[in-house]
């Protein structure tokens, strides 16, 4: 059983891979950059399906090949026919409010799945979302009775709209791994502690909060920034000056999240949603978050000064 559970996420990653390969096949109908676009989505599909089997070094080579494809503009959006508005209206009259069932089922099923325990352990994220999606997809087929061909067409369009940006979150995660291995964080922490003197609480709190914000912006991930900046700045500049470790560390982490709101490096939160929602400007989400992030940073500094001392 445990062995089987270990492989269930792979089933759902394989389904993701099929979505990508579906786009690859559709790319063969492209008028522009037919072959490059085909290869791009095909390789991504292969990495999704066989990621655990292919040697990691080979995956690294494939990633670089994909980078070469995008940098030479060999990956393009295909041409798709607009969906007829009147047909949509008709369909909407026929399906009525039942259309919300599949939409709601994704969330509801994911919630239900999160309570499932096998051998006392919760399911992994991929299985949870994967099962929820399969249930939702079946309900959508029963309720809407779509043609498979048009669903494949629409799915390819959705993925091509997101485009190469869909690789970005994973790739930035990989970059973070290289940074960690190279010891980038330690260098930054040592620079900061060599410039600023310890002893002043206000300067210390400002340095820690802003350090978390800026380093999270660079790494695109508050978790990655946390250990480095807390060791390098949080402890010597704030906690050793009398700050309560629990409050300081907790607020330090969420200061980092303010940085997440501001950076394109957190692609899965800020850039991919622009593609998913089809915004005109790919900075729309970050722009909406800037005022909130600034206010929250100020509040973090004030809270840390008042609650931790």
Partner 1 sequence: MEYWKLIGIAIIVVGFTLKFDVLAVVLTAGIVTGFVAGINFYDILTILGQSFVNNRLMSIFLIIFPVIAIIERYGLKERAGQLIGRIKNASAGKILSLYMVIRSIASALNIRIGGHVQFIRPLILPMSEAAAENSKCEKLTENQTDHLKGISAAVENYGNFFAQNCFPAASGVVLIQGTMAELGYDVTLQSIATAAIPIAVITVLLTFIQVWIYDKRLKKSIVKEKR
Binders of partner 1 in range 230-259 (CB under 8 A)? 230-231, 235, 239, 245-247, 249-251, 253-254, 257
Least Cβ distance, residue 247 to partner 1 (angstroms): 5
Tell me which of 118, 190, 242, 298 binds partner 1, using CB under 8 A. Answer: 190
Q: Is 296 in the site for partner 1 (CB under 8 A)?
A: yes
Tell me which of 28, 116, 118, 295 binds partner 1, using CB under 8 A. Answer: 295
Q: Is 106 in the site for partner 1 (CB under 8 A)?
A: yes
Tell me which of 174, 196, 201, 309 binds partner 1, using CB under 8 A. Answer: 174
Classified as helix, coil or strand, 122 is strand
Candidates 28-36, 188-196, 202-210: pick the segment binding partner 1 (CB under 8 A): 188-196
Burial of 307 (0-12, 13-18, 19+ CB in 10 A): middle
CA dihedral 66, 72, 74, 76 (to 10 degrees): 100
Tell me which of 30, 209, 269, 301 binds partner 1, using CB under 8 A. Answer: 269
| Distance, CA of 158 to CA of 169 (rounded, Å) | 18
Closer by beta carbon to partner 1, 34 or else 282: 282
Burial of 212 (0-12, 13-18, 19+ CB in 10 A): buried
Tell me which of 37, 213, 270, 297 binds partner 1, using CB under 8 A. Answer: 270
* Residues with Cβ within 8 Å of residue 207, at least 6 apart in sequence: 192, 196, 233, 237
35-74 residues in contact with partner 1 (CB under 8 A) are 47-48, 51-52, 54-64, 66-68, 70-71
Tell me which of 36, 78, 102, 211 binds partner 1, using CB under 8 A. Answer: 102
111-170 residues in contact with partner 1 (CB under 8 A) are 111, 114, 124-126, 128-130, 133, 136-137, 140-141, 143-144, 146, 150-151, 154-155, 157-159, 164-170
Least Cβ distance, residue 252 to partner 1 (angstroms): 8
The CB density around residue 258, as the number of other CB atoms within 10 Å, is 25
The number of C-alpha atoms within 13 Å of 191 and in the hemisphere containing its C-beta is 7
Query: What are the start-end ranges of the H helices in the chain?
Result: 2-27, 34-50, 56-71, 85-95, 100-115, 125-144, 148-162, 168-182, 184-195, 201-219, 222-229, 245-260, 267-270, 272-276, 284-307
Least Cβ distance, residue 127 to partner 1 (angstroms): 10
């Amino acid at each position: 059983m445990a062995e089987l559970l270990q492989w269930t996420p792979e089933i759902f990653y394989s389904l993701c891979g099929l979505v990508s390969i579906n786009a690859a096949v559709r790319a063969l109908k492209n008028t522009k950059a037919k072959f490059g676009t085909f290869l791009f989505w095909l390789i991504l599909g292969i990495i999704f399906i066989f990621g655990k089997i292919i040697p990691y070094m080979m995956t690294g080579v494939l990633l670089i090949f994909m980078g070469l494809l995008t940098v030479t503009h060999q990956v393009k959006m295909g041409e798709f026919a607009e969906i007829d508005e009147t047909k949509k209206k008709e369909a909407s009259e026929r399906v009525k409010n039942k259309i919300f069932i599949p939409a709601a089922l994704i969330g509801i099923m994911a919630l239900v799945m999160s309570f499932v325990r096998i051998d006392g352990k919760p399911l992994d994220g991929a299985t949870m979302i994967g099962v929820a999606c399969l249930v939702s997809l079946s309900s959508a087929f029963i309720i809407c009775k779509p043609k498979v061909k048009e669903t494949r067409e629409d799915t390819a369009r959705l993925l091509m709209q997101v485009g190469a940006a869909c690789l970005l979150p994973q790739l930035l995660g990989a970059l973070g791994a290289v940074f960690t291995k190279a010891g980038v964080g330690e260098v930054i922490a040592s620079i900061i502690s060599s410039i600023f003197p310890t002893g002043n609480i206000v300067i210390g709190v400002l340095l820690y909060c802003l350090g978390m914000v800026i380093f999270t912006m660079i790494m695109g991930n508050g978790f990655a920034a946390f250990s480095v900046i807390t060791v390098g700045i949080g402890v010597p500049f704030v906690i050793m000056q009398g700050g309560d470790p629990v409050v300081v560390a907790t607020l330090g982490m969420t200061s980092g999240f303010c940085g997440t709101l501001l950076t394109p490096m957190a692609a899965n939160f800020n850039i991919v949603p622009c593609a998913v929602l089809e915004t005109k400007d790919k900075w729309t989400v970050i722009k909406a978050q800037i005022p909130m992030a600034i206010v929250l940073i100020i509040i973090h500094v004030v809270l840390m000064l008042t609650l931790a001392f």
